[in-house]
């Protein structure tokens, strides 16, 4: 039974029926949960699901490595001999999480349509920006789906029918000609933002800022040829070699910067462990966890 | 398929010891043991930042970063809940911009419940919690657009941030907003320090809900994690001494650093 549910499906029934059946079942389940579970029931369900999923992944990590598994034959032997009895369950569990995540993409699109739809319908200030959203959304969605449905070979052959040409060129113009350059242009803005942020950070207003300025100056000079040229007179052997700017820069990074970064990382790791325990045991204060009285 | 790597015996012992310390601290705190938490300026500034937006009569902008659902984002949502309660009590709007659609329903519920808790459920506007885009830079620019159009007075950035962080904070600064940021990633912290008014650094980020609410369970957990940190530092010192005296290839040192099994 478990194998037939979680294992690879046989090609006896078309995939589309499986998808439709799963969607219908999910819809009914969600309706029933929404209809009959009050806030307390929902919170209880979340607490139990969080605990069980956390327990599964935690045990999978901590149990000793064994070849024997709890799972029926027919499931992909994930992890093989390097796994333990729970390792083959990782993939089905991850699939469940991916499916739940996929449902929320629809919620994201719904949120966008709701916000921008209201802007357009009520002619709010800047409504034309929202209209541009709908235009670009439907253009990218239509051409993306159309091009995908044609299953064109890679690389694209020079002899395409007119329909194939329109679908492919439309998609290429929107994606490679518009979307990708816009992404690259935004990324390139970072260079200017880094320069302006660095200017403010390096202004000497206190002893700490002066120290940072000096350290940054050494590290930056150590990275460029002029740094090595400036201190070329210092021998590259013995203890005095540390005074060469390229060596001094590396020393600052390796002996001062790295330990500080590791210290922060250590604190973050312990903090994340404590937070994980609080979430797993539903001790955290927040939306889905009862508040302390 | 990449199954998780597995713990070796030392990691098992360490994990359970640290967890035991944290849980014991929680239990002690729940039984009334007084716990001290030092002042964290970045978290103390939250109330001042909300107050600034209220005085100016402008909304607050909140970003929970661009990570999906995980410990970092859940902590950001716990901070969001606190901020919305403060803001709702002062009739100040909070705009939330999201990159990950899986975070959307949880963020909506968090904000709605915070308005309920503040006794102002009628002030909740569904449009204020927005999914912007699942693309990193489209999200950054969409968020900057929200800041500019809504004339936000205060920006809170708590969560997992990457290259888009500077786009958000530099534009926020140009708009004259007071900015409070927090991120557990040491790589992003310098960028926030350069561009924000207050920054929550490293593990202070995970101390936020305990610091803000002072609830015994969370305070106990925070004290427990500090004890755990002290234990780890002691182990590091012991490891340095052992590796120096015995050598890195000694069986005990090699076992402690070895692979899972």
The shares of helix, strand and coil residues in chain B, as percent rounded to the nearest 5, are 60, 10, 25
Residue A13: what pLDDT? Answer: 67
Angle, helices A162-174 vs A127-149, to 10°: value is 130
Measured at the CA of B207, the angle between CA B201 and CA B210, to 5 degrees, comes to 150
DSSP state of B215: -
* Cβ of residue A266 closer than 8 Å to a chain B Cβ: yes
Measured at the CA of B21, the angle between CA B233 and CA B67, to 5 degrees, comes to 75
Phi, psi of A155 (to 5 degrees): -70, 160
Place of tokens 């809900």: B209
The DSSP secondary structure of B152-193, one letter per residue, reads -SEEEEEEE--THHHHHHHHHHHTT-EEEEEES-TTTHHHHH
Length of chain B: 261
User: Which residue ranges of chain A lie beneath pLDDT 70?
Assistant: 1-13, 66-82, 285-293
Taking only the tens of pLDDT, chain B with its 261 residues reads 444 478 888 888 889 999 999 989 988 988 888 888 888 889 999 999 999 999 999 999 999 999 998 899 999 999 999 999 999 999 999 999 999 988 988 899 899 999 999 999 999 998 899 999 989 999 999 999 999 999 999 999 999 999 999 999 999 999 999 999 999 988 899 899 989 999 999 889 999 888 888 888 889 999 998 999 998 899 889 888 888 888 767 777 666 665 444
* Strands, sheet with B154-160, edge to edge from the N-terminal-most edge strand: B129-131, B94-98, B60-65, B154-160, B178-183, B198-201
Residue A202: what pLDDT? Answer: 78
* Residues contacting residue A133 through CB under 8 Å, at least 6 positions apart: A112, A116
* Residues contacting residue A96 through CB under 8 Å, at least 6 positions apart: none
* Cβ of residue A33 closer than 8 Å to a chain B Cβ: no
CB contact under 8 A, B74 and A279: yes
Phi, psi of A71 (to 5 degrees): -95, 150
* Cβ of residue A39 closer than 8 Å to a chain B Cβ: no
Residue B96: what pLDDT? Answer: 97
Stated pTM of the model: 0.84
Residue A39: what pLDDT? Answer: 76
Residue B2: what pLDDT? Answer: 43
Residue A173: what pLDDT? Answer: 94
Closest chain B C-alpha to A266 CA, distance in angstroms: 8
Residue A11: what pLDDT? Answer: 54
Residue A156: what pLDDT? Answer: 83
CB contact under 8 A, A284 and B218: yes
State which residue of chain A sits closest to B111, comparing Cα positions.
Answer: A287
A&B contacts, CB < 8 Å = 195
CB contact under 8 A, B6 and A194: no
Residue B123: what pLDDT? Answer: 93
Place of tokens 């209209």: A131
* Residues contacting residue A198 through CB under 8 Å, at least 6 positions apart: A216, B194
Identify the structural domains of chain B with CATH numbers, from first to last: 9-35+222-257 (no CATH), 41-213 (3.40.50.720)
* Cα B124 off chain centre by: 24
């Amino acid at each position: 039974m478990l194998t037939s549910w979680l294992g690879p499906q046989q090609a006896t029934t078309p995939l589309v029926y499986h998808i439709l059946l799963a969607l219908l079942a999910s819809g009914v389940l969600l309706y029933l949960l929404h209809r009959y579970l009050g806030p307390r029931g929902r919170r209880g369900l979340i607490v139990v699901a969080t605990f069980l999923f956390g327990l599964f992944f935690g045990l999978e990590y901590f149990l000793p490595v064994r070849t024997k598994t709890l799972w029926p034959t027919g499931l992909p032997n994930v992890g093989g001999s390097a796994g333990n009895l729970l390792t083959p369950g990782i993939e089905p569990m991850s699939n469940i999480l991916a499916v739940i995540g996929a449902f929320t993409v629809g919620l994201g699109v719904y949120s966008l349509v709701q916000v921008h739809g209201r802007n357009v319908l009520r002619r709010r200030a800047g409504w034309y920006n929202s209209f541009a959203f709908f235009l670009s959304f439907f253009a990218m969605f239509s051409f993306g789906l159309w091009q995908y449905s044609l299953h064109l070979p890679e690389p694209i052959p020079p002899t395409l029918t007119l329909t194939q040409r329109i679908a492919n060129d439309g998609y290429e113009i929107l994606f490679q000609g518009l979307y990708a350059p816009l992404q690259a242009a935004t990324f390139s803005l970072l260079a200017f933002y880094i320069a302006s942020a660095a200017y403010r950070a390096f202004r000497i207003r206190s002893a700490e800022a002066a120290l940072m300025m000096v350290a940054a100056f050494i590290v930056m000079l150590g990275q460029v040829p002029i740094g090595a040229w400036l201190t070329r007179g210092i021998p590259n052997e013995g203890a005095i070699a540390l005074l060469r700017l390229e060596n001094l820069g590396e020393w600052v990074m390796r002996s001062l910067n790295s330990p500080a970064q590791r210290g922060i990382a250590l604190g973050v790791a312990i903090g994340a462990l404590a937070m994980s325990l609080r979430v797993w045991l539903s001790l955290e204060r927040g939306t889905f966890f009862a508040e302390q009285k | 398929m990449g199954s998780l790597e597995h713990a070796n015996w030392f990691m098992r012992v360490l994990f359970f010891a640290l967890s035991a310390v944290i849980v014991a601290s929680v239990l002690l705190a729940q039984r009334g043991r007084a716990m001290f938490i030092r002042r964290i300026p970045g978290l103390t500034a939250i109330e001042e930042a909300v107050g600034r937006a209220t005085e100016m009569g402008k909304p607050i902008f909140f970003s929970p970063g661009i990570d999906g659902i995980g410990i970092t984002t859940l902590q950001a949502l716990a901070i969001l809940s606190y901020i919305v309660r403060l803001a709702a009590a002062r009739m100040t709007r909070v705009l939330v911009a999201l990159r990950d659609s899986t975070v959307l329903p949880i963020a909506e519920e968090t904000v709605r419940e915070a308005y309920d808790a503040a006794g102002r459920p009628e002030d909740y506007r569904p449009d204020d919690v927005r999914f912007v885009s699942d693309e990193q830079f489209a999200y950054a620019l969409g968020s900057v657009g929200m800041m500019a159009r809504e004339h936000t007075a205060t920006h809170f950035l708590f969560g997992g941030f990457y290259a888009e962080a500077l786009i958000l904070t530099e534009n926020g600064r140009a708009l004259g907003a007071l900015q409070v940021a927090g991120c557990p990633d040491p790589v992003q912290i310098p960028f926030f320090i350069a561009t924000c008014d207050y920054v929550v650094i490293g593990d202070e980020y995970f101390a936020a809900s305990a610091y803000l609410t002072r609830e015994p369970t969370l305070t106990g957990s925070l004290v427990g994690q500090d004890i755990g940190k002290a234990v780890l530092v002691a182990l590091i010192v012991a490891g340095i001494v052992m590796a120096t005296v015995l050598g890195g290839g000694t069986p005990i040192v090699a076992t402690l650093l070895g692979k899972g099994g």
